Amino acid sequence: MPSIKNRGISTIVQATLIMALTVVALLVVWGYVKDLSNNFEKQLSPTVDCITQKSIATSACINSEGEILVNLDVKPGEAIKNAVFITKDESFSCSSNSCESCSLSEVEGKKTIYLNPLEQVSNQDLLSVRLNNCNPQQIYLSSCNS
């Protein structure tokens, strides 16, 4: 007959308690790490957005007044926070705060930016377009159809 003094927690109960504490500890750590990673993605540099950015400049042309019209296809859920346009002699910068020598028009989700170059530009000149500080796009200028 076993004595009362030798009683203790059985091996099965010990193993169950250790596993339960391990699961609880893992859940606590996972909750903390997951919360940090969500905040971390929002604070990364804009280069991360360049990977997923689908908005592009679709075309660029020169109208009869000598303005350059740049058509942008901005995808739903994306915002163009800044855009830089470079011709052979000039550069234009448009951001949410200011637009130097340019104006913006939006019709049916298509954005058109009007650039007013000081120097004469011609057909087949290259226009470099950089949206949200991502890799530049090269577009050949053409004449706008009236």
Record the pTM.
0.59
The residue segments making up the domain with residue 59 are 53-143
> Which pLDDT score, from 0 to 100, does residue 18 have?
95
Note the pLDDT tens digit of each residue in 26-54.
Answer: 999 988 777 666 655 555 545 446 777 88
Q: Is residue 127 part of a domain?
A: yes
Same domain (yes/no): 68, 139:
yes
pLDDT, tens digit (0-9, with 9 covering 90-100), for 98-137: 666 666 677 666 788 888 887 778 777 888 888 888 888 8
Task: Classify residue 48: in a domain, yes or no.
Answer: no
DSSP string, 42-94: HHS-THHHHHH---EEEEEEE-TTSPEEEEEEPPTT----EEEEE-SS-EEEE
Is the same domain home to 117 and 76? yes
pLDDT in tens, 56-73: 888 888 888 888 888 888
What long-range pairs does 45-48 form, CB within 8 A, spacing at least 24? 46/132, 46/133, 46/134, 47/134
The total domain count for the chain is 2
Indicate whether 134 belongs to any domain: yes
| Alpha-carbon gap, residue 68 to 110, rounded angstroms | 16
Same domain, 79 and 36: no
* Token reading at 117: 């170059």
Q: Which residue do the tokens 């007959």 mark?
A: 1
Same domain membership, residue 120 and residue 60:
yes
> Is there a domain that residue 121 lies in?
yes
Over 90: is that where the pLDDT of 25 sits? yes
- If asked whether residues 23 and 71 sit together in one domain, one would say no
Say if residue 58 is in the same domain as residue 105. Answer: yes
